[in-house]
Amino acid sequence: EAGVTQFPSHSVIEKGQTVTLRCDPISGHDNLYWYRRVMGKEIKFLLHFVKESKQDESGMPNNRFLAERTGGTYSTLKVQPAELEDSGVYFCASGGTSRYNEQFFGPGTRLTVL
């Protein structure tokens, strides 16, 4: 069974540019999560989808971040316009319908904003 995949693995952009990150969850997983790790800090929750619906976006830092999950399969996270403080590693995780909400992480996208 394929794990969570993310694309790209690395992205280097200039401040003010737009970047779109993609996540493909484990097949059959309805739950999809985005997290971010800023250098020196812990991994922090951004938002949660159940199928195509946003269940919790309380962790989204501001309106420069837009997440979508059309059709309830893969998800994209767009940052527009990017700022220096957006640099970090963006992780996607997916989970099935287990009552314990186990989450399985992808390899992450390392975003550097110059």
Contact 63, 83 (CB under 8 A): no
Examine residue 39 and tell whether it contacts another protein (CB under 8 A).
no
Closer residue to another protein in complex, CB, 3/16: 3
Examine residue 48 and tell whether it contacts another protein (CB under 8 A).
yes
Closer residue to another protein in complex, CB, 74/105: 105
- Shortest CB 76 distance to another protein, Å: 19
**Total binding residues toward another protein, as defined by CB under 8 A:** 26
Which range in 12-20, 34-42, 69-77, 79-87 contacts another protein by CB under 8 A?
Answer: 34-42
Cα 66 to Cα 18, 45, 46, 60, 101, distances in angstroms: 11, 14, 11, 9, 24
SS (H, E, C) 31-96: EEEEEEECCCCCEEEEEEEECCEEEECCCCCCCCEEEECHHHCCEEEEECCCCHHHCEEEEEEEEC
Residue list 91-110, contact with another protein (CB under 8 A): 91, 93, 100-108
Interface residue list for another protein (CB under 8 A): 3-4, 31, 33, 35, 41-45, 48, 55-56, 58-59, 91, 93, 100-108
